[in-house]
Amino acid sequence: MNHEQSRDLYDRALSVMPGGVNSSVRAIRPYPFFVASGDGGHVVDADGNRYIDYVMGYGPLLLGHDQPESVQSAVQRRAAEGPMYGVPTEVEVELAEFVARHVPSVEMTRFVNSGTEATVSAVRLARGYTGREKIVVMQSGYHGAQESTLVEGEGDHTAPSSPGIPDSFAEHTLTIPFNDADAARDIFAEHGDDIAAVLTEPILGNYGIVHPVEGFHETLEALCDDHGSLLIFDEVITGFRVGGLQCAQGKFDIDPDITTFGKIVGGGFPVGAIGGKSEIIEQFTPAGDVFQSGTFSGHPVTMAAGLETLRYAAENDVYSHVNGLADQLRSGLQDILEDQAPQYTVVGTDSMFKVIFTRNGPDSFDGHCEAGCKQREECPRYDHCPKNGGDVKRAETERWERLFWPAMKEAGVFLTANQFESQFVCDAHTTEDIEETLEAYKRAI
Ligand SMILES: Cc1ncc(COP(=O)(O)O)c(C=O)c1O
């Protein structure tokens, strides 16, 4: 593969953008390829190389790169009618109605412009609603570039994970390992009366893909109920992907107080949203006193793209198509690993997938979770499969990033460029794409 154009572009970018990129995760080593265009389930780079794309913009592109006619014409009409006005439009109401109709815990929604803005506002809302300051997050969980959640450390021994964040932010943030119900009970035993909210993804999607063990979310839900704290589900990745239109909360039958959305709900345009019970969401200004505002919030082009994307998914068999293909992919990957690297773990559900380069595995594959780890206690892999971010960090992350990812790229398969970020099957992918991908895995692993 020739990468001259991408190399030259990165050379120029390094002079005018920090690290040559506008989001850190894009700074693939030694330099990223620059995309010229998308085409269904593929992208084509500046040098004309074509890849099967499983990054899908880090999650927003449920339908792939070619918008269906209904999405395309809604977006073009909105842009042509003047992109925004600073007063409400009907399409915002329609999208909020759609979300309330389909997502079990959501009665009202405030739209914003990114997942980060959604989680920042959700934390402020929880603090304002409860009159408390502490929040509990999962170690290594990612909720965007926000001061309160960029923390490292354990329990109440936390510190900011980036320069530029005052220690006082971390003082109010407590951490527990994902899937550790005992740690959740301990932190509530010590700090319960001060905890405004627990903020967690239903499935860790930025740290390897870690599925919840049975009962973990129920424990969080019960602890929050008992202590008057709120449960915030960060469904920026899982929203309108896992569990289809009801989202992961519907699939897992959990009733969070607040849900944050992003990615798919904007149909490929910048978006975030905070949804939940009216009683809580109405604490946002101007209905309530918790300040929240934004020039671009509820942007008509984004709202139209999100609404038409979700309508298309509702009216076509999008979820059965993407989930079916991803099942085929995850099962095929398990067969390959059984032969070539039995210690590695296939993870993911619905249209999310990844192979974690875990260092140890069981002696036998008999009765293991089919098509991706579901944390079934009966599975022979149960004691070996990652339960939290720390377990994923202990995998062969360097081998993944330095040897495996480049080999896949050279084979024309574009995966997220590190061990941690989820990968996604989209509606435009085909059985042939999956077969080609499995062949590439077979050669690269
Ligand atoms: C779970 C989760 N929350 C929040 C965010 C932040 O979203 P954004 O990048 O749109 O600010 C992300 C981004 O990937 C995410 O995965």
Domains and CATH numbers, the chain: 4-66+318-444 (3.90.1150.10), 69-315 (3.40.640.10)
C-alpha to C-alpha distances, 288 to 109, 278, 368, nearest whole angstrom: 14, 11, 50
Structure tokens at 418: 């590190």
Q: Is the dihedral of CA 102, 254, 231, 140 positive or negative?
A: negative
Burial 376-410 (b: 16+ CB within 10 A, else e): beebbbbebbbbbbebbeebbbeebbeebbeebbe
% residues pLDDT > 70 (the chain):
100
- Residue 273 CA to ligand 1 center (angstroms) comes to 11
Instruction: Provide CB contacts within 8 A for 220, sequence distance 6+.
Output: 184, 198, 200, 231
Residue 181 has pLDDT above 90, yes or no: yes
Cα 143 to averaged position of ligand 1 atoms, centre (Å): 5
Would the CB of 244 count as within 6 Å of ligand 1? no
On whether the CB atoms of residues 286 and 101 are closer than 8 A, the answer is: no
> What's the CA gap between 422 and 411, in Å, rounded?
20
What's the whole-number mean pLDDT along residues 209-237? Answer: 98
51 exposed, middle or buried (CB, 10 Å; 0-12, 13-18, 19+)?
buried
Give me the sign of the Cα torsion angle 410, 47, 24, 135: negative
- C-alpha of residue 414 to centroid of ligand 1, in Å: 20
Residue 386 confidence (pLDDT): 96
By most ligand atoms within 8 Å of CB, the mutation choice from 237, 264, 265, 354 for ligand 1 is 237
Nearest CA to ligand 1 atom 14: 144
Q: Whose Cα sits closest to atom 2 in ligand 1?
A: 143
pLDDT at 363 over 90: no
Mutate to test the pocket of ligand 1, among 113, 236, 238, 296 (most ligand atoms within 8 A of CB): 236
Element (H, E) at 199: strand 195-200
**pLDDT score of 208 more than 90:** no
Distance (Å) from CA 119 to ligand 1 centroid: 8
- Dump pLDDT digits (tens) for 266-316: 999 999 999 999 999 999 999 999 999 999 999 999 999 999 999 999 999
Pocket of ligand 1 contains residue 236 by CB under 6 Å: yes
Query: Ligand 1, atom 8: nearest CA belongs to which residue?
Result: 115
- Catalytic positions are 142, 234, 263
Q: Is the Cβ atom of 234 under 6 angstroms away from ligand 1?
A: yes
**Residue 115 Cβ contacting ligand 1 at under 6 Å:** yes
**What CA–CA distance (Å, rounded) separates 236 from 202?**
10
Cα separation values, 250 from 255, 294, 435, Å: 8, 29, 31
Q: Are strands 50-53 and 413-414 parallel, antiparallel or unpaired?
A: parallel
User: Residue 346 C-alpha to ligand 1 middle, in angstroms?
Assistant: 23
Banded pLDDT at 75 (limits 50, 70, 90): very high
Q: Ligand 1, residues 119, 299, 416: which to mutate, most atoms within 8 A of Cβ?
A: 119
Residue 420: its pLDDT value, please?
96
Is the CB of residue 175 below 6 angstroms from any atom belonging to ligand 1?
A: no
Total residue count of the chain as it appears in this document? 445
Phi and psi, residue 188, nearest 5°: -70, -35
Ligand 1 lined by 330 (C-beta under 6 Å): no
Distance CA 61, CA 44 (A): 16
Task: Supply the angle between the helices 300-315 and 69-80 in degrees, to the nearest 10.
Answer: 160
Mean pLDDT of 369-395: 94
- φ, ψ of residue 359 to 5 degrees: the values are -90, -20
Q: What is the pTM of this model?
A: 0.98
pLDDT, residue 275, reads 98
Q: Do residues 98 and 311 lie in contact, with contact meaning Cβ atoms separated by under 8 Å?
A: yes
Place 31 in a pLDDT band, splitting at 50, 70 and 90: very high
Mean pLDDT of the chain: 97
Cα–Cα distances in angstroms (integers) from residue 145 to residues 115, 116, 277, in the given order: 9, 6, 25
Residue 125 buriedness (CB in 10 A; 0-12 / 13-18 / 19+):
buried
- Per-residue pLDDT at 117: 98
For range 60-86, the mean pLDDT: 97
